[in-house]
Amino acid sequence: MKRGWSRRVLLRYTLFQLPEVLLLVVILLALKPWIAIPSWLFWGLIGLSIARDIIMFPFVWRSYDPQQVDNSALVGASAVAVERLAPNGYVQVRGERWRAELQGDAPPVDAGTRVHVQGIRGLTLLVSLPEARPPSEAAPHPALSPDK
């Protein structure tokens, strides 16, 4: 389910942008005695600043959402080592690059090796080598599939 922005997110974003607009007003007023700033330019610059904030909102609102994305959905996912994990490095999971740490006494893992996400600590994925499945649990050969 995709969740959009809420009033709370909009309020948070506005409150974070307000000091910037106020600082712009203070700077323009401070420059007024030395530089003849026409009123159309004064209000135009303020309007552009506000317009930029409005245009940027759809792209950045997620970073102002206090309801953080539940990364626990990554636990159990398969990842590919982007670089050697010995025991730290980077992996690719669902199109995103994450810092990863090998769990247990696993030997170093070379780039391109598939690993499984076991947990998350902060912004680091805790990964391990996939365990070999017994032959009874292995996927059947496609030619032997009953669907054919």
pLDDT in tens, 32-68: 899 998 999 999 999 999 999 999 998 888 877 766 5
Superfamily of domain 71-128: Nucleic acid-binding proteins (2.40.50.140)
- Per-residue pLDDT at 131: 77
For residue 100 the two structure tokens come to: 């990863």
Question: Whole-model pTM above 0.75?
Answer: no
Whether 19 shows a pLDDT value over 90: the answer reads: yes
Predicted confidence (pLDDT) per residue in 81-93, tens digit: 999 998 899 999 9
Cβ contact 127:99 at 8 Å: no
- pLDDT higher than threshold 90 for residue 70: no
Q: At what angle do helices 39-60 and 7-31 cross, to 10 degrees?
A: 150
Give the residue-averaged pLDDT of 118-143: 68
- Listed in order, the ranges of the chain carrying CATH 2.40.50.140 are 71-128
Question: Can you give the pLDDT at residue 62?
Answer: 80
Q: Is residue 137 scored above 80 in pLDDT?
A: no
Which helix (H) or strand (E) element contains residue 57? helix 39-60
Cis peptide leading into 38, omega within 30 of 0? no
Q: Assess whether pLDDT exceeds 80 at residue 134.
A: no
